[in-house]
């Protein structure tokens, strides 16, 4: 076989083999955590970031748009019947829609932040995820429409309570003691 077509190393020492760089996505240790907890932290931070990103987009599109359309329909009904909507009622509804929008956008940004910081041990993105999930729970519980025993109404609240507990679990991972 012709030697010209054989892979050649980048350096003179042929015994060392080919110069192959490891993938940047290897399981490199996360500073301050045991190797087992470093893998768990990366894995959980990835799924937390993905959940916050998706739930923020879902909340922004579904809840905010649905609330805006519903309010617009109610205002149109009032105008068509010859009644004027009360200014306080409209201001309260706009505040609710803005609240959902702010929490939704925050969820998207915090999801991206958690995905970007999944290889580190910074607590800030995790604490921000707890705050956004708690705000989502409060908004859902205060402005929920219908019976609270309905699984469709309480499901979103339970998902965010689970995320809060899950994030606390990430924060409680055992650190390596300093020598």
The tens digit of pLDDT for each residue in 77-136 reads 888 888 877 777 777 778 888 888 898 899 899 999 989 988 877 889 999 999 998 998
Q: Where are the domains of the chain?
A: 33-171
* pLDDT given for residue 23 in this prediction: 47
* pLDDT given for residue 30 in this prediction: 53
Do 139 and 159 form a contact (C-beta atoms < 8 A)?
no
For 19, 65, 92, 173, the CA distances from 87, given in Å and listed in that order, are 71, 21, 9, 50
**For a pLDDT cut of 70, what percent of the chain falls above it?**
74
The tens digit of pLDDT for each residue in 20-74 reads 444 444 455 555 777 777 788 888 889 888 988 898 888 777 777 777 787 778 7
Q: What is the mean pLDDT of the chain?
A: 76
Residue of 93 and 175 predicted with greater confidence: 93
* pLDDT given for residue 31 in this prediction: 57
The tens digit of pLDDT for each residue in 142-161 reads 776 667 677 766 888 888 89
* pLDDT given for residue 2 in this prediction: 56
Answering whether pTM is above 0.75, one says no
Do 67 and 103 form a contact (C-beta atoms < 8 A)?
no
Type and span of the H or E element at 108 = helix 87-116
* pLDDT given for residue 3 in this prediction: 55
- Model confidence at 176: pLDDT above 70: no
């Amino acid at each position: 076989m012709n030697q010209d077509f054989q892979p050649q190393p980048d350096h003179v020492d042929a015994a060392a083999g080919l110069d192959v760089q490891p993938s940047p996505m290897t399981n490199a240790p996360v500073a301050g955590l045991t190797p087992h907890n470093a893998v768990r932290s990366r894995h959980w931070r990835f799924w937390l970031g993905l959940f916050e990103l998706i739930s923020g987009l879902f909340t922004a599109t579904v809840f905010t748009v649905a609330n805006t359309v519903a309010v617009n329909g109610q205002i149109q009904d009032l105008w068509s019947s010859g009644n004027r909507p009360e200014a306080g009622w409209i201001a309260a509804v706009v505040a609710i829609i803005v609240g959902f929008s702010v929490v939704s956008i925050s969820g998207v940004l915090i999801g991206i932040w958690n995905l970007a910081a999944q290889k580190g041990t910074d607590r800030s993105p995790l604490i921000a995820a707890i705050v956004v999930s708690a705000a989502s729970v409060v908004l859902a519980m205060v402005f929920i429409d219908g019976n609270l025993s309905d699984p469709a109404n309480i499901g979103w609240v339970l998902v965010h309570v689970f995320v809060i507990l899950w994030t606390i679990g990430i924060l409680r991972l055992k650190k390596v003691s300093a020598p």
